A and B are shown apart, each in its own frame.
Chain A
Amino acid sequence: MTGEQVDSALVRRWLSATADAVVAEREQLTQLDAAIGDGDHGVNMSRGMTAVREALAGSSPGAPGADLVLAGRTLISKVGGASGPLYGVALRGAGRCLGEGACTGPAELAAALRDGLDAIRRLGGAAPGDKTMVDAWLPAVVALDAAVTAGRPLAEAASAAAAAAEDGMRATVPLRARKGRASYLGERSEGHQDPGATSTALLFRALAGVVGEPAG
């Protein structure tokens, strides 16, 4: 079951693919944020994930948990805004949950990403339906958990998580924001897709991409 292993190389490919995705979608994230926030989400996420890629390149592969902790710390140190600390504590929390082992499996990864979500909710205080990244992260974690528990292959589980994140992202469109800068707009935040939920969907789509491809 080598395809079911979650190791340092996989986590590094995932974070690198996430960096590619947010850099490619920088304009879209910025446009979404300009509509209901302050228009810096694309720039901040690109800067942050690029810094994550550099930090990982400067460290040797070892434990997937350590990679996620390093990625989280880098986001906290480099990004600023709300997205830096929120994604930072999420990845750091997920990494701490995975611990020091060189290799882990789908169930552990699902539990780690749930810990990441818990860290976001503790720090940001957002509930489902507040029009935040939680609205993509929560369904993704639920879908990943369900598929892994049902014994589905990791590639299939990650695809289900990515699809659930994207559904959650699209479902933020009609919502009225109750957290973050978009909440200042009241009903005028309705009709816009949440930029944080959008970047979360990119994160889970990147995971599905790397577990679905043969290891290089």
Chain B
Amino acid sequence: MKKLINEADNVVADALAGLTAAHPGLRVFPDRGFVMRADAPVAGKVGLVSGGGSGHEPLHVGFVGAGMLDAACPGEVFTSPVPDQILAATAAVHAGAGVVHIVKNYTGDVLNFEMAADLASDERIRVESVLVDDDVAVQDSLYTAGRRGTGATVVVEKVAGAAAAAGAALDEVVAIGRRANARSRSYGIALTACTTPSAGAPTFSLGPDEVEFGIGIHGEPGRARGALAPAADLVGHALDAVLADLDPGGDPVLVLVNGMGATPLIELYVAMGAAASQLAGRGVNMVRSLVGNYVTSLDMSGFSLTVTVLDDELARLWDAPVATAALTWGEAGRWP
């Protein structure tokens, strides 16, 4: 294992120290396990808290700031945060208007956020949850834990954050978040596995000409293995999977081409080029896009593709100003 770390057991704490140093607009509470925008609680505003295992940076700490999350709770690498830290963050950002938890659908995250929400209700804080489950590689059935939360988390956190910033009430923020999730689907393909600092070895191994289809973001293997193919073919495979489950029906879409952590940006743009031309070929109208490393899996190489079917309100909320470590754009919106 070759990593830019001090000690494997201190990676999360050391990274939070760096986050503090780099971003004076954030307050980091290392002992209580959360990162908060420095001006929280924001008077009258619904609070937004998310969190999850570390190793997916910039998710979630990189999305804390004006127009997005009020706080994020990083767990150990690939391990959900614990109820104590989620409760502490929830109480810290609560400004009287309630708090929304944005939770990726993994058993551990769901259990720990549920327990924290229970504890918060004991403190008379109204908490509602938005579950993100956009990954079409997992069958949503009684026989699985349900679809995983992946790339769409960025979209949900952005539009819910914008709604809260605009003064929406708790129920409205929740409705926006759930609608963004319901209109989003993702699919990921890995070229290599990833190595957690504590394990020290890759979680699975791929031959030089192999890719893993339908991967998640925790280094877990996907549903099938196949041969490496040109980017256009891999993007086509991902688009087939996404659009089989999500029919834009003539509505415009937002497309996120997300890197898994170790894929050069030039390759992500290769993938975006393929996605744009194939979507046009299928008659799908891409009106917003985002390319980069947003929901990563440590040093995994590969990408995920997320499509969100927009309506006017979601597009407006996506365009609304945001100022975080990882997403920042101004009054005019980012597009084009």
A residues whose Cβ falls under 8 Å from a Cβ of B: 30, 34, 36-40, 43-44, 47, 76-86, 123-124, 176, 178-181, 183-186, 188
The interface centre, meaning the residue of A36, A82, A184 with most chain B CB atoms within 10 A of its CB, is A184
Beyond known contacts A39-B219, A178-B142: 11 more, CB 8 A cutoff: A34-B203, A39-B196, A39-B199, A40-B78, A43-B199, A77-B83, A79-B82, A85-B108, A180-B145, A184-B138, A184-B220
A80 contacts B75, C-beta separation under 8 Å: yes
Once A37-B220, A82-B108, A85-B111 are accepted as A-B contacts, the answer to whether A76 and B83 lie under 8 Å apart by CB is yes
Contact of B144 among A34, A39, A184 (CB under 8 A): A184
Q: Mark B89-112, 1 if CB is under 8 A from A, else 0.
A: 000000000000000001110011
A83 / chain B contacts, CB cutoff of 8 Å: 108
Chain B, range 58-117, C-beta contacts under 8 Å to A: 75-84, 106-108, 111-112, 115
Closest B residue by C-beta to A178: B143
B139 contacts A181, C-beta separation under 8 Å: no
A76 contacts B203, C-beta separation under 8 Å: no
B111 contacts A38, C-beta separation under 8 Å: no
B82 / chain A contacts, CB cutoff of 8 Å: 76-80, 84
B residues whose Cβ falls under 8 Å from a Cβ of A: 53, 75-84, 106-108, 111-112, 115, 137-139, 142-145, 148, 196, 198-199, 203-204, 216, 218-221, 223
Closest B residue by C-beta to A180: B107
B144 / chain A contacts, CB cutoff of 8 Å: 178, 183-184, 186
Contact of A30 among B81, B106, B199, B216 (CB under 8 A): B199
Nearest Cβ on chain A to B138's Cβ, whole angstroms: 5
B79 contacts A44, C-beta separation under 8 Å: yes
B139 / chain A contacts, CB cutoff of 8 Å: 186
A44 contacts B220, C-beta separation under 8 Å: no
